[in-house]
A = this chain, B = another copy of it.
Amino acid sequence: MLPLSLADLVERVGIADLGAEFDTLLQRLYPICRSITGQGVRDTLAILAESIPLQVHEVPSGTPAFDWIVPREWNIRDAYVKNSRGERVIDFKKSNLHVVGYSIPISQKMSLAELKQKLHSLPDQPDWIPFRSSFYRDDWGFCLTHRQLQELPPDEYEVVIDSTLADGSLTYGELFIPGATSEEVLFSAHVCHPSLANDNLSGISVATTLARYLLARVRAGLTPRFSYRFLFAPVTVGSITWLSRNEETVKRVQHGLVLTLLGDPGQIHYKRSRRGNAPVDRAAVHVLQSAGVPHVVEDFLPYGYDERQFCSPGFDLPVGCLMRTPFQRFPEYHTSGDNLSFVRSDKLTDSLSKLLAIVDVLEHDATYVNLSPKTEPQLGRRGIYRALADRGSDGGNEMAILWVLNQSDGKHSLLDIAERSKLKFEQIRGAARLLEECGLLRREPLGA
């Protein structure tokens, strides 16, 4: 199969300017007030469904999901704090971060002192509104900049949250792209954060773009080796609910990645799966190492995003996490600073290119057998050196040829060879393709 690449993506999907495409999608998604349930998730999935055939699932409140229960659905229409002159001093319509997520409805007058019990701000980041929520306990609150908090005068305030917390459903979106085998690759992005760009929209955008690309390839007859599954779900309870309804499905998951925090200017990070050295871990590490750019590989930690659930001991799926700066390590995290200007489309593009390279390794890793294993074959006679020159670096180079021949004893895959030789996977793969064409190599059946 043709290698996956940014250039091929842009051409095949028919995108004029990938950066502008990212910007447009983020601008549409950013204003929506998402939470773990409610209309915000539905509106988000509806926008994604314009470009990918997303299947939207609704799971009723009260449905058990392992140790959890699908919570009541939260919806909000308006919320504000008005001063005695009737001015909205805190206004949900200006920023949905102003309201604590999952706030119960309220309509009440109160003094500044009473109000302050329910206000949240960041003394160390006085110009940013924090993001807070009150899942699983009936509470309410407002968030605002610390600067504004300090300037609030004593007054009688009217506090209104026009929300509902009632039986409804939890919503998630799923896209399945069948491949040549029923073995699956799982990508997961969370869709439950309101106006936060990196911590939500970056992963959603990159995942959607990858899905568009794979679909375009399928339409062109380039059926992938694996089947691909994309999950857009609220964090924690969303992935838990999905897992509880897909216990059989996940037995087919061979590789997986949680996609999040992919648009900030930091270095790219890969967090290993619980298994530590699963093929997806090795593929990701190889791609980052051979890209020759600063990057960080971190060990698994049972904390973070939905890899916590995928890597719980009852599943132990080979799912890692691809991101740039990890959560809590950038000051904008969970504040209004994580906005559209914090996320850069060139960084989203760079993240996507690394993701494509990882998928390319997973798709094309294979084990070959050298059909002329006793001493080296006479390459000159077979025109290999001439072919190498003709194809350029895509066709591998002489060292890649020699490594593939030497290691193709049926026990080493192309990724094994790339790791041992310290050559790039694409070089090794190019060499293998050339040797296969010359009849010097036979590909072992998949799964052998």
CB A269 to nearest CB in B, in angstroms, measures 19
Q: In the bound complex, do residue A399 and residue B243 qualify as a contact, i.e. CB atoms below 8 Å apart?
A: no
Q: In the bound complex, do residue B374 and residue A315 qualify as a contact, i.e. CB atoms below 8 Å apart?
A: yes
* Residue of B with least CB distance to A274: B406
Beta-carbon contacts under 8 Å, A306-359 to B: 308-309, 311-316
- In the assembled complex, the Cα of A311 lies from the Cα of B244 at a distance in Å of 51
- Interface bin, chain A: 35 or more
Q: In the bound complex, do residue A66 and residue B375 qualify as a contact, i.e. CB atoms below 8 Å apart?
A: yes
Q: In the bound complex, do residue A402 and residue B66 qualify as a contact, i.e. CB atoms below 8 Å apart?
A: no
- In the assembled complex, the Cα of A372 lies from the Cα of B215 at a distance in Å of 37
Work out how many copies of this chain go into the complex: 3
Contacts of A68 in B (CB 8 A): 375, 378
Q: In the bound complex, do residue B375 and residue A303 qualify as a contact, i.e. CB atoms below 8 Å apart?
A: no
Contacts of A375 in B (CB 8 A): 65-68, 239-240, 243-244, 309, 312, 314-315
Instruction: Say whether, besides A303-B399, A402-B302, A376 and B408 are in contact (CB < 8 Å).
Output: no
* Residue of B with least CB distance to A315: B374
- In the assembled complex, the Cα of A65 lies from the Cα of B403 at a distance in Å of 22
Instruction: Say whether, besides A375-B243, A402-B303, A313 and B370 are in contact (CB < 8 Å).
Output: yes
Secondary structure type dominating chain A contacts? loop
Per-residue 0/1 for A364-401: is the Cβ within 8 Å of any B Cβ (1 yes, 0 no)?
00000010111111101100000000000000000100
Contacts of A236 in B (CB 8 A): 376
Q: Indicate if A409 sits at the interface (CB-CB under 8 A).
A: yes
- In the assembled complex, the Cα of A399 lies from the Cα of B408 at a distance in Å of 44
Point out the residue from B67, B311, B377 that lies within 8 Å of A378, measured CB to CB.
Answer: B67
Q: Indicate if A202 sits at the interface (CB-CB under 8 A).
A: no
Contacts of A302 in B (CB 8 A): 399, 402-403, 405-407
Q: In the bound complex, do residue B374 and residue A409 qualify as a contact, i.e. CB atoms below 8 Å apart?
A: no
Contacts of A239 in B (CB 8 A): 375
Instruction: Say whether, besides A68-B375, A243-B374, A243-B375, A313 and B409 are in contact (CB < 8 Å).
Output: yes
Chain B CB within 10 Å, residue with most, of A65, A240, A374, A378: A374
Q: In the bound complex, do residue B407 and residue A313 qualify as a contact, i.e. CB atoms below 8 Å apart?
A: yes
Q: In the bound complex, do residue A372 and residue B406 qualify as a contact, i.e. CB atoms below 8 Å apart?
A: no
Contacts of A67 in B (CB 8 A): 372, 375-378
- In the assembled complex, the Cα of A66 lies from the Cα of B247 at a distance in Å of 52
Contacts of A303 in B (CB 8 A): 399, 402
Per-residue 0/1 for A403-447: is the Cβ within 8 Å of any B Cβ (1 yes, 0 no)?
101111100000000000000000000000000000000000000
Beta-carbon contacts under 8 Å, A103-142 to B: 136-137
Chain B CB within 10 Å, residue with most, of A244, A247, A301: A301
Contacts of A312 in B (CB 8 A): 373-376, 405-406
Contacts of A406 in B (CB 8 A): 274, 302, 308, 311-313
Contacts of A381 in B (CB 8 A): 136
Chain B CB within 10 Å, residue with most, of A301, A303, A378: A378
Q: In the bound complex, do residue A66 and residue B313 qualify as a contact, i.e. CB atoms below 8 Å apart?
A: no
Point out the residue from B66, B370, B399, B405 that lies within 8 Å of A374, measured CB to CB.
Answer: B66
Beta-carbon contacts under 8 Å, A58-77 to B: 65-68
* Residue of B with least CB distance to A410: B313
A-B contact pairs, 6 of them (CB 8 A): A66-B372, A66-B374, A303-B402, A308-B406, A313-B408, A314-B373
5 interchain residue pairs of minimum CB distance: A314-B373, A314-B374, A302-B406, A313-B409, A67-B377
Residues of A within 8 A of B (CB): 65-68, 136-137, 236, 239-240, 243-244, 247, 274, 301-303, 308-309, 311-316, 370, 372-378, 380-381, 399, 402-403, 405-409
Given A66-B374, A309-B376, A312-B405, 20 other A-B residues pairs in contact with their CB atoms under 8 A: A66-B372, A67-B376, A68-B375, A68-B378, A136-B378, A136-B380, A240-B376, A243-B374, A274-B406, A302-B402, A302-B406, A303-B402, A308-B406, A312-B373, A313-B370, A313-B405, A313-B407, A313-B408, A315-B374, A316-B409
